[in-house]
Amino acid sequence: MSDEQLCARIKKADASALEEIYDRYASLVFSIAIRLVRDTQLAEEVVQDVFTKVWITDSYHSELGPFDRWISVIARRSAIDCLRKTMRVLDIADSDLVYGDRTTSDSKVPTLDDQLKTMEFHRDLQQVLPKLKNEERLIIEWAYFEGWTLSAIADRLNMPLGTVKTRLHHALRVLRASLSGWEREGEL
């Protein structure tokens, strides 16, 4: 049974369809979550949050692209939200994260410095995005923040797929140049 068919059954409160979607995608969601939150317990909470969203919301539609990409975006967003919540409740005065000599290189919890750098990077990215041409900004936002496929973007903007790819490539070059001060692996 296809993912779209399972999603239609989930909308009708079919728990067995949710179980099948969970069996297919739980490991993908967990791998995204653990990469971002670097803590097994938090990653498991993210997995639970993502599949709760799948169960209670009606936000997936096939025109957004393949289900696996959509759930990957939801997983990434949920993991980032989890990090934000962790940052809010973090008691800095008592935190081992403040003291570098207490954390090991094997630590699964990102250091406060890493989290702050990530937040600064995202702030800088938000400042650079408005400098792009409107269509380029939309393509970046829809492709990377909303999880749309390039084909869906081409349909929405009523332009050829090749043009969307060219504008995406140009926008990424502009972002890369504007954010050249960030030398973090995997960010650009």
pLDDT digits (tens, 9 = 90+) for 140-171: 888 877 778 888 888 888 989 899 999 989 98
* Residues near 142 by beta carbon (within 8 Å), at least 6 away in sequence: 148, 152, 153, 156
Return the exposure string of 44-54: e unless at least 16 CB atoms fall within 10 Å of the residue's CB, then b: ebbbebbbebb
The answer to whether the beta carbons of residues 18 and 54 sit under 8 Å apart is: yes
55, 127: one domain = no
Q: Comparing C-alpha atoms, which of 51, 118, 109, 111 is closest to residue 80?
A: 118
88, 166: one domain = no
Domain boundary among 110, 139, 166: 110
Q: How many whole angstroms separate alpha carbon 108 and alpha carbon 37?
A: 8
126 against 32, higher pLDDT: 32
pLDDT tens for 90-101 read 444 444 444 444
Per-residue pLDDT at 97: 46
The answer to whether the beta carbons of residues 21 and 4 sit under 8 Å apart is: no
| Band (110; pLDDT cuts 50, 70, 90) | low
Q: Count structural domains, the chain.
A: 2
141, 67: one domain = no
82, 130: one domain = no
77, 104: one domain = yes
82, 118: one domain = no
Domain boundary among 86, 110, 134: 110
Domain extent for 154: 111-188
Domain boundary among 81, 110, 139: 110
36, 104: one domain = yes
46, 129: one domain = no
43, 102: one domain = yes
